[in-house]
Structure 1
Amino acid sequence: MAELMPVLLVLAVGAVLLLGYPVALSLGGTALLFALLGEALGYFDHAFIEALPNRVYGVMTNETLIAVPLFVFMGVMLERSRVAENLLETMALLFGPLRGGLGISVTVVGMLLAASTGIVGATVVTMGLLSLPTMLKRNYDPSVAAGTICASGTLGQIIPPSIVLVLLGDVLSAAYQQAQLDMGIFSPETVSVGDLFIGALIPGLLLVAGYISYMVGVAVFRPAAVPAIPAAERPQHDARFWLRVIQVLLPPLALIVAVLGSILYGVATPTEAASVGAVGALLLAASHRQLNWKTLQGVVRQTTIVTSMVFLIFIGAAIFSLVFRGFGGDEMVTDFLSSLPGGTVGAVALVMLVMFLLGFILDFIEITFVVVPIVGPVLLAMGLDPVWLGVMIAINLQTSFLTPPFGFSLFYLRGVAPAEVRTAQIYKGVAPFILIQLLMLAALSLFPALATWLPGAIYR
């Protein structure tokens, strides 16, 4: 019976989640009930639950996690400053004369917003409101238009500064230290969020290239699905137009350089860079005359809501993780993954498959806080590079925003899309982009240097 307790705990949490209870309370509450039951039956090591106050205190005093509210503040403030609106209008005029040009413009803007805001919901909603009606008016295939907007909006999950990379950095750092302790190694070495940011740059840009390549392919083989703007409606690309392009691109690019550049050159930690981004977002909002007391109040309120949600889930997941280990669940996972055929390759493949399937029903935050602390120490103890593993997980989690039926990007777009765009068309439209992300995972598996070379080159 004792051996079944970790399995029963996982099943019970899944059942409570399916009943519709909040994730954080489901994780923490179910775990505590199982801890009481295990204590009564003599199956539970109470030393783990005694470590809970220190674990919660560690979460609340973790300096790395200060970056979460700062990056959220930056993203929400930029959402209110009309940066996205100006970018979309200008890029549409720039690429519109090409077949598939509107789709390419959405992808480019998605990349720029990802590198300056990182808020998936705000990006998808904004582009859905501004670009989707225009694309439909220009006779774009609804599936292609919807899929491009959904996929481009999720780039904020992998292109830094990404909140998922901040959270993964903290969780993987704890997993890395646990793996070292399990191997009898005592080292202060951790997984740096900055390393994850740098490691994700090349894969993120390759994803953008993949999205644009798909749009070019559609333009070549299905030109009627992505027509160009008629010649009579195209703007003249004169000096005045290019001045407008520079004026629109310069502010977000300056913010990107300030945030990422300070990290890449070692001038600031990710947390310090997040504060630079927050101040930069305030200045951008002020320059667009969108900064007032009402806007600031709304941004702070939204930042508080999102941050509270993240930390509450983090605490609930910490309780679940401790109770799971108290029942010996970590040893069960270690034995299972170690006995798989194919060794390390088989273990990584299974974990990636499970995360991909969980993405159909769970949000990336739950997967990060629940699954990664369980499997992370085991995989890292097998000798995997933590930066490579973190980038692999981040791209895998990115697909959770696109996979039906519960992909959040699909919900965001469905909420703002015109009635004539059917849900089935949105699902159909994201399928090629899910395939591109899976191909990116395969490329990372075959060529780990895509994630590890740049951090090594910078810190060499």
Structure 2
Amino acid sequence: MTDPQVAVGMLLILILAIFLGFPVAFTLMALGVGVGYYAYFDAHRMWRTYERAMEAGADGWTLTETWLGGFFNNRIFDLFVNQTFSVMSNDVLTAIPLFLFMGYIVERANIVDRLFSTLYIASHRIPGSMAVAALVTCTLFATATGIVGAVVTLMGLLAFPAMLKAKYDVRYASGVICAGGTLGILIPPSILLIVYAATSGVSVVRMYAAALFPGLLLAGLYLVYVIVRALWNPALAPKPSKDDIGDHSFLEISWMMFTSFVPLAALILAVLGAILFGIATPSEAAAVGAFGGLLLAAAYRALTWQRLKESVYLTARTSAMVCWLFVGSATFASVFAYLGGQQLISDFVTGLDMSPLMFLILVQLIIFILGWPLEWTEIIVIFIPIFLPLLPHFGIDPLFFGILVAVNLQTAFLSPPMAMSAYYLKGISPAHVRLSDIFAGMMPYMLIVILCMVIVYLFPGIVYWLPNVVYGR
């Protein structure tokens, strides 16, 4: 076999191992080190050193040491150590644990139930008011946490039973929770954008500025769909009665909004504004956000030692997963490129004589399919580096490409048969809620995601306007 064929075999073994359920990070490291040993192995040098030791009259123990030293004297081990150090000392990645900690501490601060109740009361005159309140809460909470499973689970425990009790259609209600919970990986401050920036070399602050309007556009399209569906078929979302809402004056509602919506929104805007306007680096802003989350939890009298300990543990676990994925991916990618795998794929794709639009459609289709068995972290860290070197050939900006990928990855949580949002919701739903109903409720939102991608492609100013205004072209 030629070296490029070995590289392609590496990739196929990785995909097979992922489908069989092997831990992705350790599979990447094992393949990188194992195949890398073959790639960097210099048998001639090893045996020449061994023969010199024999000619010098070395004893058996010395010969054994010489042979073992030659066996382990392989550049793959140096590469693995260097990649590990590079990832762990990456300034961009230091923002991840801080943002995660902010999200976990906010999640445990009992803010969401108050926020949902307030938004429901404030929007009770809007068709599908409870769904609208759930979607806005999901958007704000997902933005603060960036953790899809946490948002879908918490909103599934809080808003989903309330909608079912209010006689909302099961499909209509489940679609709102599942779609709204995924927005945190797109709307800044998003951890996905940080990981993509570290992978592609694009500035994190420009990524945040570029993703803001597409994220709000997608959330707005979701809201329009929810309201139009409720107008079109009122039976899906019955209007609340006065007994359900209660009698609240304008001042009471304003105070409820001020004490529930404003603090969380202010925390998010402060963190995001500090990053976008250059007041702080992403890591510094994330540290301020984590401290602000602690203050917010304390203000709501929800900061306990147990919740703090859980937040720290979950932050460490998730951060370790991301960092070791980076280590494994960097080692794997280095060996893959050294063997000529990247060049083989590049030659194949460029030989197809595709237009930039055809290339974008092909890549987005591949990412959409990869979203069935894989989490977004694996897709960004493993497969996106394969496509990035091809972008200059097609004249595609990595910033614009990254936004399209971030929008597309919404479908990773919404597309059957492995739509994780559906399984998160099913796990905490009443027994009569079927998985098929949840899947059916999510399908319109997948079409909305595709519509959003088309709009972003046709009007690229949605992506470029804010970065160009704030940072220049």
TM-score (norm 1): 0.92
1:42-441 to 2 correspondences below 5 Å: 50-173=78-201, 191-238=202-249, 239-441=251-453
1:4-15 to 2 correspondences below 5 Å: 4-15=5-16
Q: Which moved more, 1:60-69 or 1:386-395?
A: 386-395
User: Helix, strand or coil: the match of 1:403?
Assistant: coil
380 and 54 in structure 1: CA distance in 2 versus 1, 3 angstrom threshold: farther
341 and 230 in structure 1: CA distance in 2 versus 1, 3 angstrom threshold: farther
Contact persistence 1:338–1:344 (CA under 8 A)? no
Measured in 2, the distance between the counterparts of 1:295 and 1:232 equals 35
User: Helix, strand or coil: the match of 2:93?
Assistant: helix
Measured in 2, the distance between the counterparts of 1:353 and 1:407 equals 16
Contact persistence 1:115–1:161 (CA under 8 A)? yes
25 and 115 in structure 1: CA distance in 2 versus 1, 3 angstrom threshold: same
Q: Which digits, 9 at most, give the CA deviation of each residue in 1:66-86, with x for residues without a partner?
A: 100000000000011011111
Q: Which digits, 9 at most, give the CA deviation of each residue in 1:293-338, with x for residues without a partner?
A: 2221111111111111111111111121112112111111211222
Contact persistence 1:65–1:167 (CA under 8 A)? yes
Measured in 2, the distance between the counterparts of 1:335 and 1:16 equals 26
Whichever of the two has the greater Rg, that structure is 2
Q: Hey, what does 2:458 align to over in structure 1?
A: 446
259 and 373 in structure 1: CA distance in 2 versus 1, 3 angstrom threshold: same
**Which amino acid counterpart does residue 455 of structure 1 have in structure 2?**
P
**Which amino acid counterpart does residue 202 of structure 1 have in structure 2?**
F
Measured in 2, the distance between the counterparts of 1:108 and 1:306 equals 26
State the superposition RMSD in angstroms.
Answer: 1.7
Measured in 2, the distance between the counterparts of 1:459 and 1:427 equals 41
Contact persistence 2:329–2:381 (CA under 8 A)? yes
Contact persistence 1:313–1:369 (CA under 8 A)? yes
- Structure 1 residue runs without a partner (length 5+): 174-190
Shift of 1:40: 6.4
- How much identity, in percent, do the aligned residues show? 39
Contact persistence 1:348–1:379 (CA under 8 A)? no
432 and 49 in structure 1: CA distance in 2 versus 1, 3 angstrom threshold: farther
Measured in 2, the distance between the counterparts of 1:8 and 1:405 equals 27
Measured in 2, the distance between the counterparts of 1:50 and 1:374 equals 23
Shift of 1:146: 0.6
Measured in 2, the distance between the counterparts of 1:336 and 1:442 equals 27
Measured in 1, the distance between the counterparts of 2:324 and 2:353 equals 38
Contact persistence 2:5–2:341 (CA under 8 A)? no
Contact persistence 2:116–2:159 (CA under 8 A)? yes
Q: Which moved more, 1:361-370 or 1:225-234?
A: 225-234
Measured in 2, the distance between the counterparts of 1:317 and 1:253 equals 35
Q: Which moved more, 1:66-75 or 1:82-91?
A: 82-91
Measured in 1, the distance between the counterparts of 2:75 and 2:95 equals 31
Measured in 1, the distance between the counterparts of 2:301 and 2:259 equals 15
Shift of 1:365: 0.4
Measured in 2, the distance between the counterparts of 1:314 and 1:411 equals 27
Q: Hey, what does 2:70 align to over in structure 1?
A: none
**Which amino acid counterpart does residue 236 of structure 1 have in structure 2?**
D
Contact persistence 2:152–2:177 (CA under 8 A)? yes
Measured in 1, the distance between the counterparts of 2:408 and 2:119 equals 29
Contact persistence 1:136–1:145 (CA under 8 A)? yes
Q: Which moved more, 1:160-169 or 1:230-239?
A: 230-239
Contact persistence 1:48–1:325 (CA under 8 A)? no
Q: Which moved more, 1:214-223 or 1:164-173?
A: 214-223
Measured in 1, the distance between the counterparts of 2:196 and 2:392 equals 14
Shift of 1:250: 1.5
Measured in 2, the distance between the counterparts of 1:419 and 1:236 equals 34
Shift of 1:414: 1.3
Contact persistence 2:131–2:173 (CA under 8 A)? yes
Measured in 2, the distance between the counterparts of 1:158 and 1:335 equals 32
Q: Hey, what does 1:28 align to over in structure 2?
A: 29
TM-score (norm 2): 0.89
127 and 36 in structure 1: CA distance in 2 versus 1, 3 angstrom threshold: same
Measured in 1, the distance between the counterparts of 2:386 and 2:342 equals 6
Q: Deviation above 3 Å: which 4+ runs of structure 1?
A: 36-42, 46-52
**Which amino acid counterpart does residue 211 of structure 1 have in structure 2?**
Y
User: Helix, strand or coil: the match of 1:64?
Assistant: coil
Shift of 1:212: 0.6
**Which amino acid counterpart does residue 313 of structure 1 have in structure 2?**
L
User: Helix, strand or coil: the match of 1:51?
Assistant: helix
